[in-house]
Amino acid sequence: MNILNAASETETDTPICSAKGCRADAVWVLAWNNPKLHTPERRKTWLACEEHREHLSKFLGMRGFLKDVVTLEEWSATDR
């Protein structure tokens, strides 16, 4: 899956943060899944700017959903 095509994008096709109301460029990919809904290998993604990475990670982590946090550059370089 190409994260650049899946994410909300600005006019310049730059992925933006998934935090509500944030329009900052995404720097991080938070890979997660809800074990009640998804198979173990399935990964959903949220994008995060520097400011919201910790907040979004905690939100997913408290629910046991967070599986991985990597840079957008790293995520885009892998074949997912």
Q: Is the pLDDT of residue 5 over 60?
A: no
Q: What is the pLDDT of residue 19?
A: 97
Asked if residues 60 and 30 have their Cβ atoms less than 8 Å apart, the reply is: yes
- Please identify which residue in the block is written with the tokens 């905690």: 58
Rounded to whole angstroms, the Cα distance separating 7 from 15 reads 6
Q: What is the pLDDT of residue 10?
A: 40
Rounded to whole angstroms, the Cα distance separating 77 from 34 reads 25
Q: What is the pLDDT of residue 7?
A: 46
Q: What is the pLDDT of residue 1?
A: 45
Q: Which of 28, 30, 1 is nearest to 15 (CA)?
A: 28
User: For residue range 9-54, what is the model confidence (pLDDT) as tens digits?
Assistant: 445 688 999 999 999 999 999 999 999 999 999 999 999 999 999 9
User: For residue range 55-77, what is the model confidence (pLDDT) as tens digits?
Assistant: 999 999 999 999 999 999 999 99
Asked if residues 35 and 67 have their Cβ atoms less than 8 Å apart, the reply is: no
